[in-house]
Structure 1
């Protein structure tokens, strides 16, 4: 018995620490499962993180709507309904540029959180002499709590 304990002591990675075990004393099945307790649940979000996320997504969304970025690049960040709305806005040319020199300028992104797992945001886009508004909704979806765009509007 002493020889076995000495072998385990020599290889600390083979025996679990108390912090690695669950309440029943079992080791997690996967190494990432031990980190799951340290990760905040999807409903806990900080306002600065959501605000930065909304600003980044607004920039990418405007690039798609003006034609400088392919819409397929946002496919994994949208739900099926959200992507359908985005594709129809691209088809009708919701944000048309007056000429090649007209670069879109984004105003400040205004966001609010109607529920813990959702962010609604809007941004003013200046294209030459024209001004447009783009609004979108981001929600946490799936088991990983990934942010996805569920609705898009542009005028």
Structure 2
């Protein structure tokens, strides 16, 4: 493809003007209007869990699932290293070594989590617990999340399982 040196380049159009125009889809000559703005996936609550603005209940539920995966051996404990404080990681490692929620050798039973019950005793902390059914055994996992560091990232400061 050759370019003509005498021909001027087309003027640049600002992005705001481009997004306001209807566009043409490939293969058809019909004009389409842009889609309306989408609603957020998660409802926003007054008390949110960090930079992503997720409700604290969603934060504790998501962490509970990851924590149970580590305690049952489905994931390595190192995956939660950046989400725990030093004391919290020590408690988690002790629970993993003790095999508190380990499945019986050769069993393919998957853990079933009940609803995550959480509460906020203070604005800077969330305490949660969840019942875990593993075959015929029932366990309870409790943990505490607190915002730590300059970024205020939520980290697990304490873990207990029975």
Q: TM-score, normalised by structure 1?
A: 0.69
Residue 142 of structure 1 and its aligned partner are, at CA, apart by 1.0
1:60 to 49, 59, 66: 66
Q: Unaligned 5+ residue runs, structure 1?
A: 1-43
Map of 1:36 onto structure 2: none
1 or 2 for the larger relative contact order (CA 8 Å, sep ≥6)? 1
Deviations 1:94-152, CA, capped at 9 Å, x for gaps: 10213432100000000000110110000000000000000000001111110000000
For 2:122, the equivalent position in structure 1 comes to 115
Report the Cα distance in structure 1 between the residues aligned to 2:124 and 2:149, rounded to whole angstroms. 11
Structure 1 or 2, whichever has the larger Rg, is: 2
Q: Which has the higher helix share?
A: 1
- How many equivalent pairs are there? 112
Structure 2 runs not aligned, ≥5 long: 1-45
CA distance in 1 between counterparts of 2:47 and 2:157 reads: 18
Partner of 1:32: none
Kindly report structure 1 stretches of 4+ aligned residues shifted beyond 2 Å: 44-48
Rounded to whole Å, the distance in 2 between the matches of 1:77 and 1:46 is 17
> In structure 1, how many angstroms separate the alpha carbons of the residues matched to 2:94 and 2:47?
31
Work out whether 1:85 is the aligned partner of 2:91. yes
Distance 2:132 2:57 in 1: 17
Question: Secondary structure at 1:134's aligned position in 2?
Answer: strand
Q: Which of the numbers 148, 151, 160 marks the counterpart of 1:153?
A: 160
Give the aligned CA root-mean-square deviation in angstroms: 1.4
Matches within 5 A, 1:135-150: 135-150=142-157
Q: Select 1:95's aligned residue among 98, 101, 104.
A: 101
CA distance in 2, matches of 1:84, 1:141: 17
Which among 25, 45, 48 is matched to residue 47 of structure 2? 45
